[in-house]
Amino acid sequence: MKYSQAKAGRIFVIRLEDGDIVHEKIESLAKKEGITAASLTVLGGADKGSVLVTGPEQGRSKTIVPRTHVLDNVHEVTGTGTLFPDETGAPNLHMHMACGRGASSVTGCIRQGVRVWHIMEVIVQELVDSSGVRKKDAVTGFDLLIP
């Protein structure tokens, strides 16, 4: 386990609008407002055609191939995530959403593109005095959080 300490900063209340791509809008806001680290909570609707990464094709394999799932219709969503800078200093959101419709649901990472259906509400809790940064891991290809 690796960890560091941070303090609570500003809180942003956001309403994303129809057609917005979630990670693009949040990273854009972070850049505009100078948010370098944050925790996030989200709820609302995801549109048909949104893409989730739902894990690797094979469990423990030397080559990690992401498995994706495309939403076949509008889904209700709730999610949580973290935002830290990448190695260049650019905001990098890592968020997972649970997306449900009727009696079925799917959960995954939103990085491939989740599009808002009408509205999505996001609470961004800024973390200040954080040393966290995401660095590319040569073995997995993941952008790993280095606290």
Q: What angle do CA 19, 118, 78 make, to 5 degrees?
A: 95
Model pTM?
Answer: 0.94
Per residue of the chain (147 residues), give pLDDT as tens. Answer: 999 999 999 999 999 999 999 999 999 999 999 999 999 999 999 999 999 999 999 888 878 899 999 999 999 999 999 999 999 999 999 999 999 999 999 999 999 999 999 999 999 999 999 999 999 999 888 999 999
The correct CATH number of 8-129 out of 3.20.20.70, 3.40.225.10, 3.30.1330.80, 3.40.50.12160 is 3.30.1330.80
Q: Are 65 and 57 in contact (CB under 8 A)?
A: yes
